[in-house]
């Protein structure tokens, strides 16, 4: 009987401590958004914050605990996107509304002509909507290459793109993953077959797999980007992502600007010298 009571008490204490950690992180992010606005906060800041919070609340992915408290039913502020994503569950597996809003505004600022996406879903629809509403007076229109590991998700996204009339702007490619969670496709062959130009944007929200499995994505894709291309990494508050972001900032030709305090964390930076990354990969 004493063992049962002790176990129940321990569970309640652990649950309370986890909720407290979630509230602490959530409140800190709220204040950070007020202070920093739409400016990414340097990676070093988040690494120090993770160290402090981790010493108090000893849970893996402690900076992401707040995102698990509830399903976010808030829809994007942009009217067209509200209708587009009305049936999507945002903020769980998909991007949250605040992150989608920011990405949409950055699309209008950067105006990328070629976008590469790892992980298809709601974000694919947003990017396709951007391409479909390209300035009709401009030459050509944007193209999107989306890499997806789940064949059923690929088919579902393609069906939605077709129903919306967006299929001509997007190519969704199925790519299985290894035990380490890496895409098994040959990026060079994929690029040659796609016949697209250098990417101006890379959005990484896949693959799903073991901790840190997205480590390889940007290094492998950077050589196919134009100089000055913008990259984004979703789930940046997870421990695995924080770890390899520290590695990315040491890579030649890649800069890490920081992480936006939105949702599960949105890291961003630039591919400043694609040739430097290409040379590094060829020497390995």
The structural domain count of the chain equals: 1
Q: Which residue, 129, 142, 284, 134, is CA-closest to 200?
A: 142
The answer to whether the beta carbons of residues 68 and 15 sit under 8 Å apart is no
Both tokens of 113, joined, read 């002509």
Report the CATH number at residue 251. 3.40.50.150
- Helix H or strand E segment including 190: helix 187-194
The answer to whether the beta carbons of residues 202 and 116 sit under 8 Å apart is yes
Report the SS3 class of residue 41.
Answer: strand
pLDDT in tens, the chain (284 residues): 444 444 554 456 556 666 776 788 888 888 988 899 889 999 999 999 999 988 887 778 888 866 644 444 566 667 788 888 888 878 777 788 889 999 999 999 999 999 999 999 999 999 999 999 987 766 777 999 999 999 999 999 999 999 999 999 999 999 999 999 899 988 888 888 777 789 999 999 999 999 999 999 999 999 999 999 999 999 999 999 999 999 999 999 999 999 999 989 999 999 999 988 765 655 55
Find the domain containing 67 and state its range: 2-282
Place of tokens 């070629």: 114
For the entire predicted model, the pTM comes to 0.89
- DSSP structure class, residue 96: P
- DSSP structure class, residue 51: H
Burial 255-283 (b: 16+ CB within 10 A, else e): ebbbbbbbbbbbbbbbbbbbebbeeeeee
């Amino acid at each position: 009987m004493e063992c049962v009571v002790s176990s129940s008490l321990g569970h309640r204490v652990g649950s309370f401590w986890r909720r407290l950690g979630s509230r602490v992180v959530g409140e800190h992010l709220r204040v950070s958004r007020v202070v920093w606005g739409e400016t990414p906060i340097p990676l070093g800041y988040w690494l120090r914050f993770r160290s402090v919070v981790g010493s108090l609340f000893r849970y893996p992915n402690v900076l992401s605990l707040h995102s698990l408290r509830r399903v976010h039913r808030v829809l994007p502020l942009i009217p067209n996107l509200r209708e587009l994503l009305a049936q999507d569950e945002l903020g769980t597996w998909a991007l949250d509304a605040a992150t989608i809003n920011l990405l949409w505004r950055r699309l209008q600022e950067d105006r990328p002509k070629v976008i590469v996406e790892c992980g298809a879903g709601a974000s694919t629809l947003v990017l396709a909507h951007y391409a479909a509403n390209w300035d009709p007076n401009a030459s050509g229109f944007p193209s999107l290459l989306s890499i997806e590991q789940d064949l059923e998700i690929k088919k579902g996204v393609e069906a939605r793109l077709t129903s919306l009339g967006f299929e001509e702007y997007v190519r969704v490619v199925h790519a299985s993953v290894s035990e380490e969670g890496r895409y098994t496709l040959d990026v060079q062959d994929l690029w040659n077959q796609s016949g697209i130009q250098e990417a101006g944007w890379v959005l990484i929200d896949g693959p799903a797999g073991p901790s840190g499995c997205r480590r390889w994505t940007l290094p492998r894709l950077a050589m196919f980007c134009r100089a000055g291309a913008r990259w984004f990494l979703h789930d940046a508050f997870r421990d695995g992502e924080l770890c390899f972001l520290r590695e990315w900032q040491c890579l030649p030709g890649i800069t890490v600007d920081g992480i936006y305090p939105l949702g599960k964390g949105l890291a961003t930076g630039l591919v400043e010298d694609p040739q430097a990354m290409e040379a590094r990969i060829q020497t390995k």
